[in-house]
Amino acid sequence: MIDLHDAFLLTDDNEDLRRSWDGGIHFRPFDSSISLERVPVVLHFHGAYGFSDCEEVMRSVCNEAGYAFIAPNSFSRKYRRSNCIEGTTESGMFPPADLYRRAELIYAFEQVKNLGWADSDRVVLSGFSEGGEAVAVWGHLVPCRAAIISAWSCSAPPEWDWAHGLRLPNDVPILQVVSELDPWFDKPGWRPHYTTNRQSARQFFLPGSDLHEVYRLEMIQEEYRRFLIDLS
């Protein structure tokens, strides 16, 4: 049985946050330790169930675009459990989840800044599902170069207003991809909508699709590549 009190106490604990960094994926496209040029980085946040084939797809895309790929592992933390019930669209099983992702995003960005080979001025935030929510809601807390948000609608009803919208600065380039009929967002208030006041945002709402794992589509992988290359 999880002690949620203890779990909340570890939200911003540096030792526990270090576990998410140490247990994560760290990939460089080449031996940048011998290069004088610093490498741009995609800092990626996994979904509610942890690492999946998404991270392998994104790592490959980043490699092809000339980016390093770093993905903290939220489930390496002491009390972490999934906030969602697999096979359903039910959530709320781990109440500190969203605060954990905020703390992990800030902590991981600080770690990237300390990497001698990483270009901290060219860090692109990326997130899938719950990780996409973290990027949309908390990404403004770090000076990122751009953001990729996959399988998150960026919409929420009034009772969840803290999770609504894109809080990243208006001039930050954003690529958002979500299926129009994704069952996670089929309730009023959660459905995706176009953000007309952001010229820097590229939004792909896949018509007629209910696929949550949008990163599996080759056309979307190409959009990821093009987005990253255009930033270079």
Residue 148, strand partner residues: 126, 175
CB 86 within 8 A of CB 49: yes
CB 103 within 8 A of CB 110: no
Per-10-residue mean pLDDT, the chain, length 232? 80 97 92 71 98 98 96 97 91 92 98 96 98 97 98 92 91 96 93 78 94 98 98 86
Q: What is the rounded distance in angstroms from the CA atom of residue 208 to the CA atom of residue 102?
A: 32
- The whole-number pLDDT of residue 232 equals 78
Q: At which residue do the structure tokens 């949309």 appear?
A: 136
Q: At which residue do the structure tokens 């207003």 appear?
A: 161
- The whole-number pLDDT of residue 1 equals 55
Residue 123, strand partner residues: 41
